[in-house]
Amino acid sequence: MDEKLITAEEHFRIEFYDVDSMEVAWHGNYIKYLELGRCALLDKIGYGYKQMKETGYVFPVTNLSVKYVRSLRFGEKAVIKSTLLEYENRIKIKYEIFNEETGELATKAESTQMAVKVPEMSTQFVCPDVFLERVKEILNNEK
C-alpha cells in the first residue's frame, strides 16, 4: 500500500551568526533548522505549538537523530523538507536539508515527540483527537 505523507518545505539562508571560524554552519545550529522545518509542517497541519497549548497539550522532543552529509556554508541558501512519518501514537518527522542552489543533500534527520497533557504533565500514549483529525483531513484532501 502506497500511503500518502504530509510534507512541508521551508527556505532559509546560512547567516553569519550560524557559522564557525571556517564559515561552515556550526553543527548545533542544524537543530534550529530542524525546528524551522517542524514548525512549517505543524503549521501546514494546523496544529502548531500555539494550537497545541490551546488544546491542553505540549509535545516535547523525546528522540533526535542527525546525519551530517555535507557542510552548509555562510551565505548559501538551503531548503528543509519535513515529512510526517507517524502521527497516531507519537509525532515522528523525517527531515532532509538541501543546498538550494546545487540540490545536494546536506543533512538528514528524524525527530520523535510525545503528547503530554497539561497541567497534569501526564504522558499520553496516543496523540490527541484534535491532532489526529487535522492530519486525517489533510490526507483525505490530498488524495
Residue pLDDT, tens place only, 67-121: 999 999 999 999 999 999 999 999 999 999 999 999 999 999 999 999 999 999 9
Domain boundaries, the chain: 7-141
Q: Report d(CA 140, CA 29) in Å as an integer.
A: 35
Mean confidence (pLDDT) of the chain: 96
Here the cell at position 115 is 503528547
The lowest-confidence range among 2-11, 31-40, 83-92, 103-112 is 2-11
Q: Has residue 1 got a pLDDT over 50?
A: no
Q: What is the CATH number of domain 7-141?
A: 3.10.129.10
Instruction: Give the DSSP H or E segment for 67.
Output: strand 61-68
Question: Half-sphere exposure of residue 69, counting CA atoms within 13 Å on the CB side?
Answer: 12
Burial of 68 (C-beta count, 10 Å sphere; 0-12/13-18/19+) = middle
Mean pLDDT, residues 56-66? 97
The angle at the Cα of 107, spanning 96 to 2, to the nearest 5 degrees, equals 30
- Which band of pLDDT confidence, cut at 50, 70 and 90, is reported for residue 142? confident
- Which band of pLDDT confidence, cut at 50, 70 and 90, is reported for residue 2? very low
Cα 79 → chain centroid? 12
